[in-house]
Structure 1
Amino acid sequence: MGSHGEDVKGRVCVTGASGYLASWLIKRLLISGYHVIGTVRDPGNEKKVSHLWRLEGAKERLSLVRANLMEPGSFDTVVMGCEGVFHTASPVIKPTSDPKAEIIKPAVDGTLNVLRSCKKNPNLRRVVLTSSSSTTRIRDDIDPKVPVDESFWSSIELCEKLQLWYSLSKTLAEKAAWEFCNENPIDLVTVLPAFLIGPSLPPDLCSTASDVLGLLKGDTKDFKWHGRMGYVHIDDVALAHILVYEHEKAKGRYLLSSTVMDNNELVGFLLARYPSLPIPKGFEVLNRAQYDFDTSKIEGLGMKFKSMEEMFDDCVASLVDQGYLPSVYL
C-alpha cells in the first residue's frame, strides 16, 4: 500500500457488509479509495443494504454479493480477485435454546469457511479478522495492577460457566483462525475492539446500539451485566482495521479501547453530560475483576482514540437524527 492516490488502492472484501461495524468500515474504505466487495445474505434486501449505496464512492467502487458463512466454498469467487479480506461477520444474537449451535458453531465454522476460501487466492496480501476485547479479559486470575494486553486470552471454562456465549464464540473463532493461518500461508492480523459507541449507519439498531439506546432511555436490564467495560468509537475501530491492513509491520493481535469504566462511572459521566436524558442513577456493584487495557501496541502504529465525550456525543446525535431519541435531548 502507498499514498500515491487511488490508483494504488486495491480490491478488498468485507464480510457481513450490512452490519454495524462493517458499514463503517466500508464507508472508510470507500473514502480511502478502495474497491470494496461486500458480502451479504441477500443483496436484494433494500432495507438491509440501502444505507451502503448512499455512501460516498459506493456507486463507483462498491459491489454487494451473496455469500453465506455456513456454506462451504461460498466465498471462493468473492475473495479470488481481492488483495485483502476483512472478516467482520459473526452472530451476536441472544441464543434461545442451543447457544453452541446458534452462536458458537456459526462463528467458528464461518471464520474457517472464509479462511479456506482465502487460502485458494494466491494474490491475497492480508486478512484482518474482527475479534473482541472479550477474548482477553474473562479470566479469574486478573491482577488489577497489570493492564490486560494482547497476550491475554479469556478462559474457555469461565466463559462456559458464566454462559458468556458471545465472548466464547469470539475466543474460539479467533483461536481457530490463528491455528488455520499458522498452518497455511495466510498473513492474519486480528483486532480486538472494546464496546462500540457511535452513530449507527444501518437503520435497524444492532444489539450493541440497542443496549446503549436502552441505557440512555433509563433501562438498565441490558447493561447491568456489563460491569466494567472498555469503550471505543466505532469510527476509530473502522480506521484501525485499515491501519493494520496497510501497515507493513502490523502483526498479531491489536486491542482497541479508549477508556475503561465501571457501570457506575459510566452513568455518572452520562448524567453530567446529558442531564435531560432519563439515565439510571446507578447500578448494583458486581463482583468483577478490576482491569485496564494496554493499547500501546496499536498506538505504536499511530492510532489515536477519540474521547468518551466524542463517542457519546456522536452516538446521541445519531439516535436523535434517526428518531430513536427526541431532539429535546440534544
Structure 2
Amino acid sequence: MGHSTEKSKGTVCVTGATGFVASWLIKCLLQDGYRVRGAVRDPENYEKAAHLWALSGAKERLQLVKGDLLVEGSYDAAVAGCEGVFHTAAALVRIKSDPKPGAVTYLDEYSWSSIFFCTKYQIWYSLAKILSEQEAWKFAFLHSIDLVVVLPSFVIGPCLPYPLSKTAQDICDLLNGGRNFGIHGRMGYVHVDDVARAHILVYETPSAQGRYICSAQEATPQELVQYLADRYPHLQISTKFNDELPKMPYYKLNTTKLQRLGLNCKPLDVMFDDCISFLEEKGLLKRKPEKTPTSSSTPDEHSKDSVLQNV
C-alpha cells in the first residue's frame, strides 16, 4: 500500500473487498472519512456485497468495481486515481526447525514461511500468499512503489460477510464442539478490528516501512480450548481433538515494530467475546442443555482467565 501524504481523506482501493478482513477494513475506512473503491470479481452480485452496502457511509463513499487477480490488467481501472491501495493478502508464519525442549523462538518481520514446507504438505493457500508477497516486493522495488505489508496472525472477531469466511467457520466449528482445530498448531491470535486499524495506521504514517506483524497473543490448541471452555461454559466446546497433537516449536511473535507506531492489540478475552456475541446473534452457536442448579459454589471469574495470562 502507498502512504497518505495529504491531511484530507482521499480515495483508496481495497482488493478482495467482500472478504473477512477487507470488509472490516472498508468499515473502518468509511468511518474515518475515506472514499473507498472496492475491487471484487462481480460488482453486480448485490447479495454477496450486501454487508458492504449496509455499512455507514457506503451509499455516499463506497464504489464497487470489477477486479480479478487471475485476469491481467483487470485492476487498472480499479486503482486509477487512488491515493493508496490495500491488498488484503498476508504471509503466514511457519517454522522449519525441529522443536527443542524449553527453547523459545521469537519471530519478527524478517521471518518468512517455508516454501518447501508448504509445497511438501500441499498448503497451497499459504504458499500463494508467500509467493505473492515476494513478487510484490520485487515489483515495488523495480517501480519505486512505497509498499508496506501487515502480517496478521489468526484473525478473530465479527465476520461481516455471510456465509462465514473459512477462518470464521473454523472458529464457529470449534465453539460448537469441533475437534479438528488441533491441526493449526500453536498460533498467534488477533482481533479483526486491530488488523484493519493496523492497515490504516501504516498507511497514514509516512515513516512506516517494511513488514509489520499484527498479533495479540499466542496459544497452543490445547491451551486455547481449555481457556474457551472455562470462560464460556454455556457453549459445547470440546477440550479433546480427533488426532494426537504433533510436537510444535514454542514461539512468540515480536510485535514491537507495530506497537512503536501506537497500536496495542485487544486481548484474547475481548476478541472472543466480540466473536461469540456476533455468532450468537446470528444463531450459529449451540448452547449446552441447562442443568438443574446445585448448591456447589460458582468458580471464581478470575480463574477463568488464568490459563493463558502468562502464555
Q: TM-score, normalization: structure 1?
A: 0.82
How many pairs align? 282
Report matched runs for 1:194-205 at 5 Å. 194-205=153-164
Q: Which amino acid aligns with 1:149?
A: D
Q: Which amino acid aligns with 2:22?
A: A
Decide which moves more: 24-33 or 46-55.
Answer: 46-55
Alignment correspondent of 1:75:
75
Deviation, structure 1 residue 42: 1.3
Q: Which amino acid aligns with 1:269?
A: Y
Alignment correspondent of 1:40:
40
Contact 1:203 1:322 survives alignment (8 Å): no
1:270 equivalenced with 2:250 (yes/no) = no
Q: Distance in 1 between matches of 2:5 and 2:67?
A: 30
Alignment correspondent of 1:303:
263
Alignment correspondent of 2:24:
24
Superposed CA deviations along residues 75-102 of structure 1, whole A, max 9, x for unmatched, are 11211110000012xxxxxxxxxxxxxx
Q: Distance in 1 between matches of 2:112 and 2:128?
A: 13
Tell me: CA distance 1:152–1:239, structure 2 relative to 1, closer, same or farther (3 Å): same
Contact 2:179 2:240 survives alignment (8 Å): no
Unaligned runs of 5+ in 2: 290-311
Identical-pair percentage: 51
Question: Which has the larger Rg?
Answer: 2
Alignment correspondent of 2:139:
180
Alignment correspondent of 1:140:
97
SS of the residue corresponding to residue 251 of structure 2 reads coil
Structure 1 residue ranges, 4+ long, deviating more than 3 angstroms after superposition? 1-4, 141-144, 326-329
Contact 1:139 1:158 survives alignment (8 Å): yes
Q: Distance in 2 between matches of 1:169 and 1:282?
A: 31
Decide which moves more: 319-328 or 172-181.
Answer: 319-328
Using CA pairs below 8 Å that are at least 6 residues apart, which structure has the higher relative contact order? Answer: 2
Decide which moves more: 164-173 or 278-287.
Answer: 278-287
Q: Distance in 2 between matches of 1:227 and 1:40?
A: 32
Contact 2:15 2:38 survives alignment (8 Å): yes
Q: Which amino acid aligns with 1:168?
A: L
Contact 1:200 1:209 survives alignment (8 Å): yes
Q: Which amino acid aligns with 1:137?
A: R
SS of the residue corresponding to residue 46 of structure 1 reads coil
Q: Which amino acid aligns with 1:308?
A: L
Q: Which amino acid aligns with 1:198?
A: G
- What RMSD in Å do the two structures reach over aligned CA positions? 1.8
1:210 equivalenced with 2:169 (yes/no) = yes
Q: Distance in 1 between matches of 2:29 and 2:149?
A: 17
Alignment correspondent of 2:15:
15
1:314 equivalenced with 2:271 (yes/no) = no
Q: Distance in 2 between matches of 1:76 and 1:182?
A: 19
Tell me: CA distance 1:28–1:84, structure 2 relative to 1, closer, same or farther (3 Å): same
SS of the residue corresponding to residue 314 of structure 1 reads helix
SS of the residue corresponding to residue 105 of structure 2 reads coil
Q: Distance in 2 between matches of 1:231 and 1:40?
A: 27
SS of the residue corresponding to residue 277 of structure 1 reads coil
SS of the residue corresponding to residue 227 of structure 2 reads helix
Decide which moves more: 229-238 or 59-68.
Answer: 59-68
Superposed CA deviations along residues 19-46 of structure 1, whole A, max 9, x for unmatched, are 1111000000000000000011111212
Superposed CA deviations along residues 98-125 of structure 1, whole A, max 9, x for unmatched, are xxxxxxxxxxxxxxxxxxxxxxxxxxxx
Q: Distance in 1 between matches of 2:98 and 2:258?
A: 25
Superposed CA deviations along residues 207-240 of structure 1, whole A, max 9, x for unmatched, are 100100000001112x121110100000100000
Unaligned runs of 5+ in 1: 89-129
Tell me: CA distance 1:288–1:172, structure 2 relative to 1, closer, same or farther (3 Å): same
